[in-house]
Structure 1
Amino acid sequence: MKATGVVVEHNPFHNGHFYHIKESRKKTAADIIIAVMSGNFLQRGEPALVDKWCRTEMALKAGVDIVIELPYVFATAQASDFARGAITLLEAMECDAFCFGSEEGTIEPFTRSYEVLTTQQEAYQNSIKQYMNLGLSYPKALNEAYADITKDLNFSFVDLSKPNNILGYHYIEAAFHMKARIQPVTIQRIVANYHDDVDQNQSIASATGIRKALFEEGSLEALEKFMPQTSLDQLLKWKDSVSVFGSWQQFWPLLRHTIIRSSIQDLASFAEVTEGIEHLIYEAAKESETFEEFMIRVKSKRYTWTRIQRMLTHIYTGFKWETLKEHPKPTYLRVLGMTQNGQKYLSEKKKNLSLPLVSRVAATKDSLLEIDIRASDLYQLGLQSSKINTPVGMDYRKPPIIL
């Protein structure tokens, strides 16, 4: 059976994701689509709208055959580490190809950019440092340095100012660095860009736009045209049973408590907290009644919104620098769900998989997995309100979903 991998968050699963799954299967002639999906905290440093089980069911009902969890350490990391973790898992799952959506739409500019940046790595890194010394944020310094390296070369290179292109580049970089046999494929992102608001004249919207519309308007029914019915049904079911959706606004009281309770030294020990920003985080938390107020106080030219949110994610979950350094690569394959077709694939491949397959958490001892379990419990606590008491320990009680 030929397998193609995709790297996803599905926050939530919408028509653009449906198109991605369908085109990935078609373009690679795949029998099986395997999704590596972030857990309950995401790469942009925020809680997922709904938990990983709800999002797994959305994916399985819309064409994915197997969902593997991307461990917290990689799911909440900067783009290069996020990509390295995801490609490692897809390679371990014996995928023949991985397919990512991009603004570029063709693979050749990605491989050219990789070749140039690899052969001119020293000049590239020096240029990045120079731009950061001028006060630019890391992403902006990357873009300026990249422009300097490629400006005099008479070839087409990928635009690394676009969010999906950036991730796509890092997927290819990860695959080439590990000399993986898995082959990169890309498809054109269509209609909506990453940060676009919803457009009622279209049937595809970005996940960012969908979440924004949901929080501003409070109506799931208004989003019906942007997602498969199976996804809408899952969201309606979630709203009935949990009543609130994951966001930093919802989690703010607990996050604020965690920050103010911590010493400055404690805050500095959490992953991604650097250069004394812990002082600003502490003072802003004391003065801010809402998450929005807090972010306005902390945001600066040097630190992007996303990078600050990743710091906050690690503060909230208690994830420290020393723990990050102890886990350079994934050590297991955690199955969140599968179809019958996916079960058949696993039965054929399980003896050849290069990482152990985890379906029962209680039977597995792994420090990387323990981080995931704690993050899941803290996610559930963040959803609690006066109306809802969400249970912790779901990772121990919830078996893989089988459709």
Structure 2
Amino acid sequence: MKAVGVIVEYNPFHNGHAFHLQASKEAANADVVIAVMSGNFLQRGEPALVSKWVRTQMALVNGVDIVFELPYRFAVQKAEIFATGAVSILDAAGCDSLCFGSESGDLGAFKQTLEFLTSRSAEYDEQIKTFIQTGVSYPKALSLAFQQLSGSEHVLDLSKPNNILGFQYIKAIKQLRSSIEPLTVSRKSANYHDEHFASDTIASATSIRKAIFSNDHEKMGIGQYVPDRTKDLLEEYLERYGTFHHWELYWQLLQFRLLQTNPNELRDIYEMEEGLENRLIQAALEAQNFQEFMQKIKTKRYTWTRLQRLCVHILTNTKKSEMNHLENASYLRLLGMSDLGKEYLNKTKKHFNLPLVSRIPSYKENDIQLDVRAARIYGMCLDEPHKKMMIQQEYKQPPIVIEKSS
């Protein structure tokens, strides 16, 4: 059976994702689609709108055959580490190809850009250091260094978010010496960061989330932009838990962590730079909510996204020592599968070069404890008995199985 991989967050699953899945399957001539999906906290340092289990259901009912969790250590990270972790999982799961959406849609431009930067890596690194010394953020330094080097060269536009991720996927495939074939399809109608609806049927996840939080929850106003089952699952989640997840729900937890933790201990948190802990503590004393807190700590040097990721690591008490020892994934955490996905696993799992984990209690290695901790914190914003139920779900929930005919 031929498998195409996709790397996703589905926050939430929408019509653009459905288009990408169909296009990926056709481009790869694949029998099954394997998704590597971020868990409860996402790449931009945000809690997912709904839990990873509900987003797994969204994926499976809309055409994905297997969902593996992208471990916390890779999910809440800059693009390079995020991509390396995700590609290593697809490689271990036997994917023949990886198909990603991009603003470019031209695979040749990705390969040419990788060759260009590889051949001038020393210059590139030096330019990055030079720009960082001027006080700009790391992502801005990357972009400026690239512009400085590329000049009039016909290379990829690396200021676009999906182009950046796609470039890192191809770079990871090369570094891992994987046989995965990269494929890309153009993003349809909506851009990644669009906050407003751009067409009658396709919208970005950002604009969909904005609509959900801007409107009365009973009238989300997103029906034309998401499949019916996505809307049903969102409504069921809201009815059960009374809320969707967002940063303000975690503000008191974050404030407590900052105000009760010794500055020396905060310096051990992953992505904390010297001196930043004092700025965060002072802002936590002054701010009344998360939005105000972020506005107080945001600087030219530290992007909003970088600071949000740091806040997630503070919430989960994730130390530098826990994150710096592992370059590639060390397990395959199975969240769900279709009947076709189950058939694929039965035929291929004996060839996997990583352990397949379907239940937490059966896997004794320490690496997965970051995921467990993140799941506990994710549930902490809920009222009882839902808080307890969500925390226990991490241990009790078996992989979700959905038949294609259902």
1:151 alignment counterpart: 151
2:209 alignment counterpart: 211
Would you say 1:284 and 2:283 are equivalent positions?
A: yes
Distance (whole Å) between structure 1 residues aligned to residue 230 and residue 193 of structure 2: 21
Aligned-residue CA RMSD in angstroms?
1.2
2:211·2:220 contact (CA, 8 Å) conserved in 1?
no
SS at match of 2:336: strand
Query: Could you list the per-position Cα deviations for residues 178-218 of structure 1 after superposition, in whole angstroms to 9, with x for gaps in the alignment?
Result: 11000100000011111112327521111111111111213
Distance (whole Å) between structure 1 residues aligned to residue 142 and residue 199 of structure 2: 36
Q: Which amino acid aligns with 1:252?
A: W
Distance (whole Å) between structure 2 residues aligned to residue 216 and residue 178 of structure 1: 43
SS at match of 2:36: strand
1:125 alignment counterpart: 125
1:377·1:394 contact (CA, 8 Å) conserved in 2?
no
1:295 alignment counterpart: 294
The verdict on how the C-alpha distance between 1:286 and 1:227 changes in structure 2, with shifts beyond 3 A counting, is: same
2:235 alignment counterpart: 236
Query: Could you list the per-position Cα deviations for residues 335-356 of structure 1 after superposition, in whole angstroms to 9, with x for gaps in the alignment?
Result: 0000000000001101101111
Give me the TM-score of the superposition, normalised by structure 2: 0.96
1:336·1:359 contact (CA, 8 Å) conserved in 2?
yes
1:5·1:34 contact (CA, 8 Å) conserved in 2?
yes
1:251 CA drift (Å): 1.0
2:38 alignment counterpart: 38
Consecutive unaligned residues of structure 1, counting only runs of 5 or more, are none
- Correspondent of 1:189 among 187, 190, 194: 187
Query: Could you list the per-position Cα deviations for residues 43-102 of structure 1 after superposition, in whole angstroms to 9, with x for gaps in the alignment?
Result: 001111100000000000000000000000000011100000000000001000000000
1:373·1:393 contact (CA, 8 Å) conserved in 2?
no
Distance (whole Å) between structure 2 residues aligned to residue 223 and residue 275 of structure 1: 43
Which stretch shows the higher mean deviation, 197-206 or 370-379? 197-206
2:53 alignment counterpart: 53
Query: Could you list the per-position Cα deviations for residues 307-344 of structure 1 after superposition, in whole angstroms to 9, with x for gaps in the alignment?
Result: 00010000000101010113322111110000000000
Q: How do 1:70-149 and structure 2 match up within 5 A?
A: 70-149=70-149
SS at match of 2:351: coil
1:15·1:228 contact (CA, 8 Å) conserved in 2?
yes
Q: Which amino acid aligns with 1:76?
A: V
Give the ranges of 4+ consecutive aligned residues of structure 1 lying more than 4 Å apart after TM superposition. none
Distance (whole Å) between structure 2 residues aligned to residue 386 and residue 330 of structure 1: 34
Q: Which amino acid aligns with 2:138?
A: Y
1:67 alignment counterpart: 67
Q: How do 1:267-282 and structure 2 match up within 5 A?
A: 267-282=266-281
SS at match of 1:350: helix
1:148 CA drift (Å): 1.4
SS at match of 1:224: coil
Distance (whole Å) between structure 2 residues aligned to residue 73 and residue 83 of structure 1: 12
Would you say 1:319 and 2:318 are equivalent positions?
A: yes
Give me the TM-score of the superposition, normalised by structure 1: 0.97
1:260 CA drift (Å): 0.9
Distance (whole Å) between structure 2 residues aligned to residue 132 and residue 111 of structure 1: 26
Distance (whole Å) between structure 1 residues aligned to residue 195 and residue 388 of structure 2: 31
The verdict on how the C-alpha distance between 1:150 and 1:54 changes in structure 2, with shifts beyond 3 A counting, is: same
Consecutive unaligned residues of structure 2, counting only runs of 5 or more, are none
1:258 alignment counterpart: 257
Distance (whole Å) between structure 2 residues aligned to residue 227 and residue 72 of structure 1: 27
The verdict on how the C-alpha distance between 1:387 and 1:89 changes in structure 2, with shifts beyond 3 A counting, is: closer
Q: Which amino acid aligns with 1:304?
A: T
Query: Could you list the per-position Cα deviations for residues 7-26 of structure 1 after superposition, in whole angstroms to 9, with x for gaps in the alignment?
Result: 00000000111111110001
1:289 CA drift (Å): 0.8
Distance (whole Å) between structure 2 residues aligned to residue 366 and residue 56 of structure 1: 24
Query: Could you list the per-position Cα deviations for residues 116-154 of structure 1 after superposition, in whole angstroms to 9, with x for gaps in the alignment?
Result: 11111110000001111111111111111101111143x
Which stretch shows the higher mean deviation, 371-380 or 385-394? 385-394
SS at match of 1:67: strand
1:249 CA drift (Å): 0.9
Which stretch shows the higher mean deviation, 252-261 or 144-153? 144-153
Distance (whole Å) between structure 2 residues aligned to residue 230 and residue 216 of structure 1: 22
Distance (whole Å) between structure 2 residues aligned to residue 47 and residue 230 of structure 1: 22
1:372 CA drift (Å): 0.5
Which stretch shows the higher mean deviation, 386-395 or 269-278? 386-395
1:167 alignment counterpart: 165
1:25·1:31 contact (CA, 8 Å) conserved in 2?
yes
SS at match of 1:393: helix
Distance (whole Å) between structure 1 residues aligned to residue 384 and residue 63 of structure 2: 37
Distance (whole Å) between structure 2 residues aligned to residue 377 and residue 318 of structure 1: 12
Distance (whole Å) between structure 1 residues aligned to residue 244 and residue 386 of structure 2: 12
Distance (whole Å) between structure 1 residues aligned to residue 121 and residue 186 of structure 2: 28
Distance (whole Å) between structure 2 residues aligned to residue 359 and residue 205 of structure 1: 33
Distance (whole Å) between structure 2 residues aligned to residue 262 and residue 181 of structure 1: 46
Q: Which amino acid aligns with 2:86?
A: A
Distance (whole Å) between structure 2 residues aligned to residue 69 and residue 87 of structure 1: 12
For these two proteins, the number of residue pairs brought into alignment is 400
